[in-house]
Amino acid sequence: MTIKTFRGKIAHGGQDTIVLHTNNGSTGYRIVKFQVMNPEAGAAASETQSTVKIYKTEQTTIDSKVDFSENILLGAAQLGTQDAFDVYPQSTVVIFDREIFNQDIYVTHNNYHADATATNYYIELEQVKLDLSENTVATLKDLRNETLVI
């Protein structure tokens, strides 16, 4: 089992592309870990309510709404902190799907507050070798998702 890791700091309203596609589509991936972290802790940290999501398709709208009925949503994390960090500790909720995909994925971030700050993310993907039928299914699902979004 090969694990690929990706990390970054994503601005409010930002979208990062994680390039995973291959010429033949025979390499698939599955999320095994997804974490988010406020870039600054302690008394100097500002209040934040961030939502970081992982999608199978590029997003035109970046918001804080999480709808698990969206078939293109692979994972979502919500991060909340208060100004008084010692009284109101950081809270994090992370949920991700174990679906196998073989195309690029997109990470988005939206912060509920007007003075929105960036948020750190960390993703571990398990690399999976796909046989021809699994490759075809994963690719067709991704193509179908592309046509549904447009």
pLDDT on residue 112: 82
149 vs 6, residue with greater confidence: 6
pLDDT, mean of residues 3-15? 95
**Over the stretch 20-50, which tens digit does the pLDDT of each residue have?**
988 888 899 999 999 998 887 654 556 778 8
CATH 3.30.1340 assigned to domain 2-149? The reply is: no
Q: What percent of the chain has pLDDT above 70?
A: 79
| pLDDT above 70 (res 87) | no
Residue 1 to residue 30: CA distance in whole angstroms = 11
pTM greater than 0.95: no
Domain ranges of the chain: 2-149
